[in-house]
Structure 1
């Protein structure tokens, strides 16, 4: 009996170790290329605003097929300053709100799992009332495949942000982010992942007709830590996935964007990236090479 129990326990340990080995992030992230991306405070700039030529000078370039990053990658910090201060498209500026957050993004894969690592320095707190007192920090990223969502190739996650979504001025508090004409069956959606600092857990959802924070099967783990003023968060997700998950393949690129809710922020009061490309063994803004 004792031998059987020992053998069973050993088998469990070995199985757990084997499973952990299959989902082991790079041991030395310093050897993985990093992309510097500046997140900026977006104010009230929903999809409808960026398409309106009378208010957004880039609307004409957008119609010609240029991307938001083509025009704004180098000026993200300056845009954030204008909006966080209330100088532009922010009717309710928050005194002391950080205008931008520089973030290092790294990616790798092992043939079975994708590893995404985000690292940044904690901005100074604004002193404003906490919108989400459970979570001082939240970080989320979204993936879209093949440009099936209109403007996803050009505007990143902006296709989920609409003027009638909650926390927008005058909008109802019941409507979340969504995609017009969404269809999970046709692949017209965004794959969504989030990590929350206070709850210390990850969420695997999607944005289609509405935002759903659970139900995905691709997320293996989401782990974050704070070392002094520095945050590091690593997501591990299977390359494969089920409904609501974008299946990732070597040699292909995917539309990618991410956001940080800093200073216990909620809703639209976050910092966002422009739209970029994530490549799996493919040249892109961020390339996940096999380790």
Structure 2
């Protein structure tokens, strides 16, 4: 009898511990949504952004004005102009959407951050660059260590010499941060979901690395009718290449959608925003 009682007690304890180790998604009906629009940026690397003779906003950037403060209300118009080849796009993709409105929700439970993105599938029909994935969604966080990241968002990782850029000569060169390194803290934490079922946890420093992160717990997505929904579950702390999050803290935040089987630079991107845990930000993750 004693052994039976001990075995039963241990089994109950293990089941309880196991159940508690799984993250439970929040009640999304109680989480407010930020309405953010991703747009087609074409060939607009940071070198173009900061060149005053080509981009009028370069002067404002030098004064400390963010891209969002100037362009938040016109991202759809910018995307339309670029996607049709009127500006910064030498290789027009017929039928590609200039912009996609996205609802972004965030919450946390003290141990995990939950991010949910929902949007309606726009019309497409272009050649399939990525035949395996109809959609990919990537999110990047930055811990206020990279110069200008609070102003330019993820553009500090986008350079003219990267692959698929008109000036790119090296097919292996992807996103990177000038003078970036994990040791200095100058990096972007990167997580990604793919419609094929893949999930990646990496970073962008002196180069882009799609693995090694310890914070991403899960990434799930589905399409119901014409609407996509993607949910990330991420631990607040991880390891090298993972930006540490905590209640009261705000970090720089941006995301990108590779729509209609696209790859490389042919994605839809957000401007730079802020994400706060129990803190005022463009997207606030309140504890639930």
Q: State the TM-score bracket (shorter-chain normalisation).
A: over 0.9
Q: TM-score, normalised by structure 1?
A: 0.94
Output the CA distance in 1 between the equivalents of 2:7 and 2:157: 53
Secondary structure of 1:52's aligned partner: coil
Any runs of at least 4 consecutive aligned residues in structure 1 with deviations exceeding 2 A, and if so which?
A: 1-16
Q: Any stretches of 5+ residues in structure 1 without a counterpart?
A: none
Tell me how large the CA RMSD over aligned residues is.
1.7
State how far apart, in whole Å, the 1-side matches of 2:227 and 2:73 are. 23
Shift of 1:11: 5.7
Give the Cα separation in 2 of the matches to 1:245 and 1:66. 27
Superimposed CA distance per residue, residues 3-47 of structure 1 (whole angstroms, 9 cap, x where no aligned partner): 999887766544432212xx1111x21211110001000010000
Does 2:220 align with 1:223? yes
How far is the alpha carbon of 1:202 from its aligned partner? 1.4
Q: Distance in 1 between matches of 2:7 and 2:143?
A: 48
Structure 1 residues 153-232: aligned runs within 5 Å: 153-171=150-168, 172-198=170-196, 200-232=197-229
Give the 3 Å change call, closer, same or farther, for CA 8–263 of structure 1 in structure 2.
Answer: farther
* Residue 20 (structure 2) aligns with: 18
Residue 280 of structure 2 corresponds to which residue in structure 1? 283
How many residue pairs get aligned? The number is 285
Match of 1:130 in 2: 128
Q: Secondary structure at the match of 1:74?
A: coil
Once the two structures are superposed, what CA deviation does each residue of 1:149-208 show, in whole Å capped at 9, x if it has no partner?
Answer: 12101011000000001110131211010001112112110000000001x131100000
Task: Pick which of 222-231 and 7-16 moved more.
Answer: 7-16
Partner of 1:35 in structure 2?
A: 34
Mark the runs of 5 or more structure 2 residues left unpaired by the alignment.
none
Which residue number in structure 2 is paired with residue 257 of structure 1?
254
Q: TM-score, normalised by structure 2?
A: 0.95
